[in-house]
Structure 1
Amino acid sequence: MKTVKVSGKTIEEAINEALQKLGAANKEEIDYKVIEEPSKGFLGLIGTKPAVLEASVKPDPIEESVQFLQKVIRDMRVNVEVEVNKRGRETEISLSGEDLGVMIGKRGKTLDSLQYLVNLVANRHSDRYARIVLDAENYRERRQEALELLAERLAAKARRTGEKVILEPMNARERKIIHAVLQEKDGVETHSDGTEPRRYVVITPHS
């Protein structure tokens, strides 16, 4: 990380000098530490001291998260490529390659864990929250479609049998998909029960 030592008549002037030397657009992009406060000296003339700062560019949260992910991939010794796509305020990191099954894990648990860690890395130094979605060849879209079909099928079962149906434990995002699909459906209602990480959805029939 490049660090520069700069000075100016005022702290603001020193910050502007740092921005120029670091190639940064504004002071939100840098970290700086005041080494010496400016002083005017006797009669504003004798013994005048400039402000002295030490400054460096803040690490890019997306770059940090990608570097972390690539290290994980190397350590796992899998053949997987990483591609970054920015979508407004959200960033998608997409994985592709021969060993995606290892990265996804059973019902996406490994992928979810990696997504959690990647977001931690991205936001450990950032003032503004960066949201990163980690996907693997549209796994999340395919998983959502499968959950929507599952919700419809189990809701029909609950209506047919008149008995509640308990789904397997799911993470909060997947439970939300089930609730969203069935919230407007006649004859059933849903709620979550249990404690994390084994919280699950219950589908209850009603007249």
Structure 2
Amino acid sequence: MGELEEVVEATGADLETAIRKGLAILEVGRDDVQIEVLEESSRGVFGIGARDARVRLTLKPQPQVVALPAEAVAVEPLPEEDLEPLEPEDDEEAETARAVLLELLEYMGVENARVEARRAEADGDDEGPAPLLLEVTAPKDDLVGPQGETLDALQRITRLIVGREQESWTQLLVDVNGYRLRRRQSLQKLALRLAKQAVDTGRTVVLEPMPPDERRIVHLALRDHPDVSTESIGEGARRKVTIIPR
């Protein structure tokens, strides 16, 4: 079929038949259209005056699916005020995490890497200590991987080992050469741009699936937006953020 029609009229011996014909023309499901009954069917009298049912089907506005940038764009780093320096000797968890990550990097053959421990700024709604951020400075960005997959794996392993040694779950983030900081600011800018798109078009914008920490960045970026709301949909690795105009 060529360019998709937005409104069709269809007829049938009864309403259900007419609706099915209209859906077939549009190649959509019943939930994707608004149905208006233009004329009820009638058998007439002895076949005289019989008429088909006639309906008008109008496509509902479809969500816009937006692909995420494969990598973070080059942007200015976040202000230093977002992070507070941390002296490892004043924080047993930080000292343990830093030592674990350095040992993992050594096993991976990463030379001349430095690891600094900081406390990331906690969100106003969070309770407990701010997340621990381990910042790795390394000669290459090989530790990041496609869309941060290698970095995410390194973070999971570090978190598991630190949690086992501390005998408690650890809110811990690992960054390499400022990748996560750039990625966060990139997603914040993307969220604001897509919010404007949702408002201008009056249509829900659906982002591609993202990991929980990146979905959270989008939710927080638009939490106080006056014209849109956000919601996560889907399950597991397919979970994604929707931006909904109010």
TM-score range, shorter chain: 0.5 to 0.7
Q: 1:186 to 1:107 in 2, by over 3 A?
A: same
Q: How far apart, CA to CA, are the structure 2 residues paired with 1:131 and 1:202?
A: 26
Is 1:70–2:106 an aligned residue pair?
yes
Residue equivalent to 2:243: 203
What residue number does 2:116 align with?
84
Q: Which residue of 2 aligns with 1:179?
A: 219
Work out whether 1:94 is the aligned partner of 2:135. yes
TM-score normalised by length of structure 2? 0.52
Query: Which digits, 9 at most, give the CA deviation of each residue in 1:104-151, with x for residues without a partner?
Result: 122222211210111101121323444432111221111111001000
CA distance in 1, matches of 2:207, 2:112: 32
Cα separation, partners in 2 of 1:89 and 1:176, compared to 1, 3 Å = closer
Is this contact kept in 2: 1:65–1:122, CA < 8 A?
no
Question: For this pair of structures, how many residues does the alignment match?
Answer: 143
* Structure 2: gaps of 5 or more residues: 1-91, 120-128
Establish whether residue 125 from structure 1 lines up as the match of residue 161 from structure 2: no
Distance in 1 between residues matched to 2:130 and 2:242, nearest whole Å: 34
Task: State the alpha-carbon separation in 2 of the partners of residues 153 and 192 from structure 1.
Answer: 18
2:234 aligns with 194
Residue 86 of structure 1, CA deviation = 4.8
SS at match of 2:197: helix
Identify unmatched segments of 5+ residues in structure 1: 1-28, 30-59
CA distance in 2, matches of 1:139, 1:68: 19
Partner residue, 2:37: none
> Which deviations, in whole Å up to 9, do the C-alpha atoms of 1:168-190 show, x marking residues without a partner?
11111111111111121122111
Q: CA deviation at 1:64?
A: 3.3
CA distance in 1, matches of 2:111, 2:167: 34
Over the residues paired in the alignment, what is the CA RMSD in angstroms?
2.4
Q: Distance in 2 between matches of 1:128 and 1:152?
A: 36
In terms of fraction of residues, the more helix-rich structure is 1
